[in-house]
A = this chain, B = another copy of it.
Amino acid sequence: MGKNLTKRSEDYSKWYNELVIKADLAENSGVRGCMVIKPYGFAIWEKMQAGLDKMFKDTGHENAYFPLFIPKSYLSKEASHVEGFAKECAVVTHYRLKNAEDGSGIVVDENAKLEEELIVRPTSETIIWDTYRKWIQSYRDLPLLINQWANVVRWEMRTRLFLRTAEFLWQEGHTAHATRQEAIEEAELILNLYAEFAEKHMAVPVIKGTKTESERFAGAVETYCIEALMQDGKALQAGTSHFLGQNFARAFDVKFATKEGQQEHVWATSWGVSTRLMGALIMTHSDDNGLVLPPVLAPIQVVIVPIYKGLEVLEAIDEKVAPLVEALRDKGISVKYDNRDTHKPGFKFNEYELKGVPVRLAVGPRDLENGTYEVARRDTLQKEVVAADAVVEHISGLLDDIQQNLYNKAAAFRDDRITRVDDYEEFKNILENKGGFIAAHWDGTAETEERIKEETKATIRCIPLNAAKEEGSCILTGKPSQRRVLFAKAY
């Protein structure tokens, strides 16, 4: 009856891989590095999409759709951009297959070679800015606030379900503005939106910051990010928002007439979150019994399991449960009544625990007699008996409690793992034995950043936005520094 899930303490990485498979979230496909997102996993992603999409629209953004393919020449137009993506991209070179002349099967038709190779989009700045050139003439056309939900491909060599896959699903926002200041404000607005989504919907606490130059998006002037901490003490970048300056407007010659009639290059942002968020969600809350889902994103928020011998009792339970199901649905709570006669209650309990359903109700003959339900919460595994006439109200409050509790627990865990360190040996010691974020001084050079990475595998996750000015000396070189940055090993 057990779930045969490796314990986190034994092998966190193995636990994660097993959990993703066993909870029916995703699996590897026959195509190298590409995953299949299974219905249960996809239902969670749909809830993420709906939540984010509403937030984008509430802040004035519209959805659109741009081509999957990017001509090679487009990608090459922004120098640092092509540098960042050329090494790992899928290239379409032909447009036809044919039967081999020697009868050996289906082969590429060499007579159907493309004049120019097409890249499967790794991100869409280039194709979008090529389009924006046609859309933007005057300041009246700005700002342009557009988002796209799409699949993208980056030819990663080492892949892991949700965390790093060759193809992944994401949204990418691409906005155009008349001024530098407005574009920066947009990038920051989205950063805050992402942080709010992570904390309120996913119950995942995040730190907002900017990336160092070497960790910036290829083509960005500034990359803002939100960083979360997983239970194994490793950080995970959960979303990025880029201020692109005028780089893409210059590369694609996108100018606008100002109010004063002058021609100026347009200012840009781009920003995205992806199915990687699924990895963050899973790793932040789940335990050795399986998935733990925050109620806001749970496809099934409440499951009801009847406990009975004999179909007569089941019928009585069916009758008792029917109005409860209706009452919960009326409150907008998604509920499943699992009265399958093919599986035992213990099997069902296990299954819903594994799948992270936030609240489980059990109802047996004694409950029928007493007018009660047994209510179990997934996050703490606590059970209590609740009177039937109070159960709707109880569940409603319980779902809020669970959402808040998951956030608080994750925040306490994370806060406990932000260590201020001023000595390089201690730095290495904390990194190995405790993990988490290390707040340390850094001299601001890429050389130091690179050496620390080589020696410890820790990278600078971000320069926190809320970091106070503080005189100090670099953890590695002893050179002067004005603020602490956050180091961590990361996914």
User: What residues make up the interface of A, taking CB atoms closer than 8 Å to B?
Assistant: 27, 29-31, 34-39, 42-43, 45-46, 62-72, 74-76, 82, 86-98, 105-106, 108, 117-120, 127, 130-131, 134, 140, 146, 150-151, 153, 155, 167, 169, 342
Taking a contact as CB atoms under 8 Å apart, the answer to whether A97 and B119 are in contact is yes
Identical subunits present: 2
- For this complex, 8 residue pairs linking A to B, each with C-beta atoms less than 8 Å apart, are A29-B127, A29-B131, A42-B62, A45-B65, A65-B169, A90-B94, A90-B118, A92-B92
For A135, the closest partner residue in chain B by CB is B38
In order of increasing CB-CB distance, the 9 nearest A-B pairs are A34-B67, A39-B62, A86-B97, A37-B65, A91-B94, A95-B155, A31-B67, A76-B106, A93-B93
Chain B residues whose C-beta falls within 8 Å of the C-beta of A62 in the assembled complex: 39, 42-43
CB distance from A175 to the nearest CB of B (A): 12
| Residues A89 and B97 in contact in the complex (CB < 8 Å), given A69-B31, A76-B106, A153-B68 | yes
CB distance from A188 to the nearest CB of B (A): 23
Taking a contact as CB atoms under 8 Å apart, the answer to whether B29 and A67 are in contact is yes
Which among B89, B95, B342 is the interface contact of A96 at CB below 8 angstroms?
A: B89
Chain B residues whose C-beta falls within 8 Å of the C-beta of A89 in the assembled complex: 95-97
CB distance from A440 to the nearest CB of B (A): 36
Taking a contact as CB atoms under 8 Å apart, the answer to whether A42 and B65 are in contact is yes
Chain B residues whose C-beta falls within 8 Å of the C-beta of A118 in the assembled complex: 31, 90
What is the bound-complex CA distance between A146 and B38, given in angstroms? 10
Chain B residues whose C-beta falls within 8 Å of the C-beta of A67 in the assembled complex: 29, 31, 34-36, 167
Taking a contact as CB atoms under 8 Å apart, the answer to whether A140 and B68 are in contact is no
Taking a contact as CB atoms under 8 Å apart, the answer to whether A88 and B93 are in contact is no
What is the bound-complex CA distance between A167 and B94, given in angstroms? 15
Chain B residues whose C-beta falls within 8 Å of the C-beta of A63 in the assembled complex: 39, 42-43, 46
Chain B residues whose C-beta falls within 8 Å of the C-beta of A36 in the assembled complex: 64-67, 131
| Residues A96 and B88 in contact in the complex (CB < 8 Å), given A64-B37, A106-B75 | yes
CB distance from A483 to the nearest CB of B (A): 37
Which among B29, B91, B153 is the interface contact of A97 at CB below 8 angstroms?
A: B91
